[in-house]
Amino acid sequence: MYLITHFSDFQLACLGSFFLHEGVFFLSGLPFIWLERAGWMSKYKIQAKNNTPAAQEKCIVRLLLYHFGVNLPVMIFSYPVFTYMGMRSSLPLPSWKVVLIQIIFYFILEDFIFYWGHRILHTKWLYKHVHSVHHEYATPFGLTSEYAHPAEILFLGFATIFGPAITGPHLITLWLWMVLRVLETVEAHCGYHFPWSLSNFLPLYGGADFHDYHHRLLYTKSGNYSSTFTYMDRIFGTDIGYRKLKALKSIGVEDSGEQKKQ
């Protein structure tokens, strides 16, 4: 009630969404820079290599430029589309069932579009001229999730906003979707696989271990193109290398365990 009586729909949908995104993104991503520098929880770090402070600072500066120079204008110029499709901020709030169904739909649709868009970005020309910017960090950390060429921000960002754009949700649903999507992509790039990571509990969830593999390999052999879930890679066989590596590691752990028993 406070928000809708003190701010216009335009201010809430554009500026409100932008600053909510910035807050969630940096508050969830910055701790991983601190963990890497301090060396804490290193036993959960997927790669032994660390990024230099200079590389981390470069990422932050570029991100601020991209967010204010690309993300904010996109939010402003897409506002008429969202309002035309029925997005509103007024009361009453939608029921939890409506919110849940829409969020699930957004995740499924985003995963499908992102997978194919990501595979296209790994073709030779697009990788060299566009997607290689994102892969400057072979050892990713949380904030690298949105470090990309401006063309890629627009290209893959389409996957995130397409679902809400065609359904015209309540603004609270859009904000919830944004928060969940940001937290997911930061976690996927964090560089750590913890015992409490979601991928240990949700069968089809990719997570950091799944996506970190993608960053370690050359563009022609990387695979693991999905954003949130793993089923698209499984269906089209683009996770074969990753599954083979996991199988070899599993055998290695079992063998070492048998040797210790003997």
pLDDT tens digits along 144-189: 999 999 999 999 999 999 999 999 999 999 999 999 999 999 999 9
Q: What is the dihedral of CA 179, 152, 219, 228, to 10 degrees?
A: 20
Domain that holds residue 61: 2-261
Q: What is the total count of domains within the chain?
A: 1
pLDDT band for 220, please (50, 70, 90 cuts): low
Model confidence, pTM: 0.92
- Whose CA is closest to 99, among 177, 208, 25, 153? 177
Widest distance between CA atoms in the chain: 72
Rounded CA-CA distance 139/44 in Å is 14
- Using only C-alpha atoms, the chain has a radius of gyration, in whole angstroms, of 20
